[in-house]
Structure 1
Amino acid sequence: MPHSAMEKPQNQLLSWIVLIVGGLFLIPTLPFTLLLISMPIWKPDETSFLSLLFTALPVAMCAATIWAMRQAYKAIRLSASTTVQASAVLPKSPEQVIENDLPSARKKPVWPWAVIVPGVLLLFALGPGAMMLPIMPVYLAAMSTDSGTVPDYVPALIVVIGYTLILAYAVFLVKAIQVLRAK
């Protein structure tokens, strides 16, 4: 088996994940995106530069998701056809089988995907609201002061905890990408 054949199950799994998550993203998003695209036709008086800008974001996200799903489908189809062809070719000797199993001993951990996938899903779910994430702790702290009975330390606590969570996720994301890119 060549080295690229060793990575087929992992690539095929990733392709299936892209297809499933992309489909789950497109089911609720695509109808609203189509409504936003048609908004200049049925509500021309409410169309502005900002509405067109915020229409371009979900359109771009849907187009990128559809492109990724097409690539994943092609990879799965190609993997299935090469698996059928590879199963027809048998190894010539037991030594060849042992040599080909040595590269498969090194496997990448799963925990980086447990960090990356929820972050990507959160960004897809938030859509244009993702631009609010960097200032969200400050906004929540400001909103907490609207109630007259809030102690003085609560807004500071919200800011500290919020930015600590954002910083911790950023550190874990960088570490996860480094682990996945390590050879």
Structure 2
Amino acid sequence: MTDDTTANSDDSPERRLVSGWQGRFFEDFAVGDIYKHPYGRTVTETDNVWFTNLTMNVNPMHFNEAYAAGTEFGERLVDGTFVIALAVGMSVVDISANATANLGYDDVRHHAPVFHGDTIFAESEVLDKRESDSRDHVGIVTTELRAYNQDDELVLSLERTPMVLKRAAAEPSAAAPTGWPAGVGTQPADLD
């Protein structure tokens, strides 16, 4: 009796390198597109305390429960710069995985407080795109990034402008995705 699922079987599938998500390139953006970034992220007390300490933010509203209990919020608030960093990080997969630089963050607005235990979701809308005047291999994309909590309350908005590679300049491939050094992992020659 033979097992038809073995790798040595004539019926076994052909092995091949398949490109994963390579991120968007300049050509992939269109004004008016909205990308709902995958995954929500629940903010923990540890996130807030570590970030507050790392950045030396000495406002007691972020790390002093007794102080915060006496404020209008009745509890500690999550550091606003953490919320910015989290929302921007959530957008990288769709907006700037192929960026060569972030040119600016504008019109940053905190619309509502974020508390420990809130889950943040983010989306970006393409507001503008243009060719770079000084670099042929990139274009400039401006997006509005919006972050919401689990109750659909807008907690943050900002405009973000990265300089994004054009596809021809990046030359993405399954064997050499962004961030991988040449020759690491499975290579086409390994599949023969």
Q: Normalising by structure 2, what TM-score?
A: 0.20
Considering fraction of residues, name the structure with more strand: 2
Considering fraction of residues, name the structure with more helix: 1
Larger radius of gyration: 1
Q: Normalising by structure 1, what TM-score?
A: 0.20
